[in-house]
Amino acid sequence: MKFTKLAIMCLCSTVLFCACAKNPNAVIKVNDKEITKKEFYTDFNKIKNLQLKDAPKEMQADDSYAVLSIKARYVNDVIIRELLNQEFAKRKIEATQEEIEAKKAQIIAQIGSEEQFKKILKENKISDERLNSDMASEVKMEKLVNIISGPDTVTDKEAQKYYNENKPNFEMPERVKVSHILIDTNADSIKRKITEADKEAKLSSANIDEKVKQEVEKNQKLLKEVYAKAVANPKNFAALAKEYSQDPSAQANSGDLGFIVRGQMVKEFEDAAFSYKVGVVGPIVKSQFGEHIILVQDKAAPGLQPFSAVKEDLKKFLSNQKKFVAVQKLIEGLKASATIEYIEEGLNPEALEKQIQEALPRQIEAQQNAGVPKSKVKKIQKIKKIKKEKDSKK
């Protein structure tokens, strides 16, 4: 699931923090709003556990470099989120239920299906109440951005100027625009799927092998049938991909992968795509993912893209850049004028930075003991050296 940098600041927001004059459970106070220990650590622990779920136990310890780094970022995020909530209230910016539902629909369209959307919510343990809160925050943020960044317009002249000054950025290698239909005939991957689906281990090895054989035969038959249909009518390729392709993204993109460049796909697929003629369904290609039916829709020679081809995308990019700069300035201003009190001293950025610096050598030692490649250890040591030099200059 993809979100803009602006949206990320509003996602995963907690309910409005209650403010009592003297709350013994408060950990941070932002102007007149207090953030309680429960509110802070409920979300922090979710984020920490999600990011470190596959990490070694020593990295999940409260005093580890990884946990402390996540906490430092989260403290900053909490403060920014609260300052933005206060700004929404000050400017009387609200989100209607219709706007919230429209935002949900927009995200579902980006993901590809409501089923996939619900799966993501379930995996991240996001309740309906939380989702509505997040969507409301994003709607409010978009309204605030439009207010502070002014008219959402970038002129052709501005875009042309940027293009002229950054022409190397618009140099493109050889590209091909491709669509594909994937049918899995790989016995190993099919066996893995069947085994994973048999959660209660009811199937014997013989049962699994028989199911694999049946599935391979079924998919090989399907492959021949779909290939014949695609060759006979390439114009119907998108519909065939949506109906038959076993690529998880096929439902959303109808098999369209857009323009690809060399080095982006597996070699077998890439070699075929760059050699096939435009508009003709080429021979079936086998890769580690299964067998691909490929249609090349267009080809583009290497070289500088003309301004006319990139103008609209460039104007959108420059518009988003303006908005991002405006938001950064607003946040800097809000933080500079805010009264922020770190009631729990361990959440003070200075205290956290000190703990992080103390934890770094421990992580390096643990990684060395765990047989981490020397290149990674050297990278961490380099970071440590740079930070030490910065501290010595203060």
> Which amino acid, 81?
R
Tell me whether residue 157 is in a domain: no
Report the CATH number at residue 198. Answer: 3.10.50.40
> What integer pLDDT is reported at residue 137 of this predicted model?
92
Per the structure, how many domains does the chain have? 2
279 plus 322 within the same structural domain: no
74 plus 138 within the same structural domain: yes
Least confident of 126-130, 214-218, 256-260, 344-348: 126-130
pLDDT top residue among 243 and 5: 243
| Sign of the torsion angle spanned by Cα atoms 156, 162, 167, 173 | negative
E strand map for the chain: 26-30, 33-36, 171-172, 175-183, 256-261, 285-287, 290-300, 303-304, 340-342
138 plus 185 within the same structural domain: no
pLDDT band at residue 4 under the 50/70/90 scheme: very low
- Report which DSSP code applies to 183: E
Tell me whether residue 354 is in a domain: no
d(CA 138, CA 13): 10
Tell me whether residue 312 is in a domain: no
For 93-103, the pLDDT digits (tens) are 999 999 999 99
> What integer pLDDT is reported at residue 371 of this predicted model?
58
> What integer pLDDT is reported at residue 17 of this predicted model?
35
Asked if 47 and 70 count as a contact pair (C-beta separation under 8 A), the reply is yes
CA proximity to 188, closest of 176, 196, 178: 196
> Which amino acid, 301?
A
> What integer pLDDT is reported at residue 394 of this predicted model?
53
Asked if 262 and 175 count as a contact pair (C-beta separation under 8 A), the reply is no
Cα angle 42, 102, 140 (rounded to 5 degrees) comes to 55
Tell me whether residue 363 is in a domain: no
Domain that holds residue 297: 174-301
Q: Which range, 220-229, 246-255, 375-384, has the best average confidence (pLDDT)?
A: 220-229
182 plus 279 within the same structural domain: yes
Tell me whether residue 379 is in a domain: no
CA proximity to 247, closest of 259, 256, 258, 237: 256
178 plus 204 within the same structural domain: yes
48 Cβ neighbours under 8 A, 6+ residues apart:
60, 67, 70, 71
Least confident of 140-154, 256-270, 288-302: 140-154
pLDDT at 39 over 60: yes
214 plus 280 within the same structural domain: yes
294 plus 324 within the same structural domain: no
pLDDT at 254 over 80: yes
100 Cβ neighbours under 8 A, 6+ residues apart:
132, 135, 136, 139
Taking residue 39's Cβ as centre, other Cβ atoms within 10 Å add up to 20
pLDDT band at residue 218 under the 50/70/90 scheme: very high
**What would the mean pLDDT of 202-213 be, rounded to a whole number?**
89
Say what percent of the chain tops pLDDT 70. 87
180 plus 287 within the same structural domain: yes
For 12, left (φ over 0), alpha (ψ -120 to 50), or beta? left
pTM of the model: 0.62
For 290-306, the pLDDT digits (tens) are 999 999 999 988 999 89
Q: Which residue has the tokens 């470099």?
A: 65
Tell me whether residue 329 is in a domain: yes
User: What are 21's two structure tokens?
Assistant: 């004059």
27 plus 116 within the same structural domain: yes
User: What are 98's two structure tokens?
Assistant: 């219709």
For 337-391, the pLDDT digits (tens) are 999 999 999 999 999 999 999 988 887 777 666 655 556 656 666 676 676 666 6
